[in-house]
A and B are shown apart, each in its own frame.
Chain A
Amino acid sequence: MKERWEFTPHHPGLVETSADVWKHRGLLHLIATRAFQRIYRRTVLGWLWLVINPLLPLAIRVIVFGALLGVGSNGLPYFLFLLGGSIAWDLFSATLMRGTRALEMHGELSDLIYYPRAILPVGNLAPALVELAIKLGVFVVALAYYALHDGRFYVRSDAALLWGLGALVLAMLFALAISLFTSVWGEGTRDMRFAISQVTGVWYLLTPVLYPLSQVPEQYRAWIVWNPMAVIVETFKWGVFGVGAFDAPLFAWTAAAVGVLLLAGLVFFTRAEARMFDAR
């Protein structure tokens, strides 16, 4: 019997890649474990950094911006205000950072086995989700404290909470969409990682997390809504606390834009995947 081998380039489409990712879902565990190890390998305090890293900056900012500079907070305790904004923002920035570094961090894994690359940005998210869970835990404790202390429950208890949840999911999808591009551009170099940390630093200041949108001078406020993260964070705070600006059509537009970007990112990523294999 004669065997025939034929080698041709294979360019999987969007659907095939998605199916492939699902088939390799067992790998997610491995990638997530590696992502965690990366945080506390060679450190003395170990996994404690997973808790300290997100919470310490929060404490510092509460002291500086809430207590020292007396920044406004829409009538909420500043700690709750900042924590709420940070939950949405940090999910975005952590997802973006980890998604961007996914290919660079697990590059050597690709030399050994085959798997769809698209699984990397997803698996690399795990520490971001754990950080989110830690912050949510602190949030619940803080709510209980303020309920006892002020006799007031600052979180809404109606269907509007769903808007908050929607905003949270949108923040993550938005970061994932961007990282589908940036991870490909940054594969093999560390430049992209530095550029991303620079950009997120600036972006953070332009997003109403530290301060309420209402404190931005009137003439600039029209500009700041062009920042999708401003819309997302404000919607999140409106959904959770019932304070701040909420504009349903604007949020819908933002969601649509994120959807388009995500699709474009997936197409871009799957196209680039085949090319990257050859380059290695």
Chain B
Amino acid sequence: MTTAGSDPRPSPGPVAWVISAERHDGVLARVREVWQYRRILSFFAVRAVQSLYRKTYLGAWWLFIRTLVPLLIAAFVFGEVINVPSGNVPYLVFFLAGQLPWNFFDGPLVRASRAIDSNRQLLTKLYIPRIVLPLGQMTAGVVEPVIIAAILAVTLVYYRWADGVWYVQAEPRVAAAFAAVFVILWFAFAASLFTSVWQGRARDMRYVLRHVVGFWVFLTPVAYPASAVPVGYRWLIYLNPMTAPVETFKWAVLPGEEHSWPWFLYTVAVTVVLFGSGLWYFARSEGATMDKL
């Protein structure tokens, strides 16, 4: 594409360039492509995870510290200074159980949104199915919540020792936690099908996303229980599709929490719609976006 532009000689006349590649259009063809290019997908995933800690002195420890310290301090400020209620469990346990599902959304979304923007160099040089990029970048975002899960496990053991109580469910409904995480990841991916295209087009998206996610965490009962919201407004907070899975996750893991399956199904429905339209949007606009990179 740049061949005509980079040629310093005056153009000899009207020359038409036709560059074509055999490629099937449509959403289904895009999805099949992902399977064909699955090895590239795993390559991107590994690279994205490595980029988290490579070239740092502390290596993988850095990742751990980076997750642990802010969480502990935020839990201190919210629990001890601002005195946010936390139901029947210590605030730290409650806070971690909220941050865990939230981080399955936050990190993957932010990273996947960067996929096209930060791979400019690569995308202008060779063809890969672009949808592989947000998927691969998302993987790096999963590392952090997994670390939080480990921290939560250690905290639970500590409270078993200090208070003599397991602040955790050992019932079959723990399985619902996995369903919640799955829905959250799916929702994040569906959203990134839009945001990654937008961010590839305009840098604004980086700022927008930062503000939106920074606000969204407070609209979701992560640091506070949904029961702290006045009853009249509670349906309003459930309109936020992240509320139901986060509440379901807490309900599945912690004792004495409430949640609602109908609202969970609402989130699933929103996710399905967003995912479908996202795939369509991504497939439709990737060509136009690539030309403008």
Contacts and interface: CB of A to CB of B under 8 A. Distances in A.
Nearest to A224: B81
B73 A57 contact: no
A206 B218 contact: no
B207 A189 contact: no
A68 B24 CA distance: 51
B82 interface: yes
A215 B81 contact: yes
Given A49-B207, A202-B73, A205-B77, A211 B82 contact: yes
B55 interface: yes
Given A43-B202, A60-B215, A202-B70, A191 B56 contact: yes
Nearest to B206: A43
B202 A69 contact: no
B130 to A, nearest CB: 19
Interface residues of B, number: 21
Contact of A211 (B56, B73, B74, B81): B81
Contacts of A43: 202-204, 207
A56 interface: yes
B214 A57 contact: yes
Interface residues on A, range: 20 to 34
B47 to A, nearest CB: 16
Contacts of A215: 81-82
A71 B202 CA distance: 37
Given A191-B56, A215-B82, A217-B80, A198 B204 contact: no
A253 to B, nearest CB: 24
A220 interface: yes
Interface of B: 55-56, 66, 69-70, 73-74, 77, 80-82, 84, 202-204, 207, 211, 214-215, 218, 224
Q: Which 4 A-B pairs have the closest CB atoms?
A: A64-B218, A42-B203, A43-B204, A60-B215
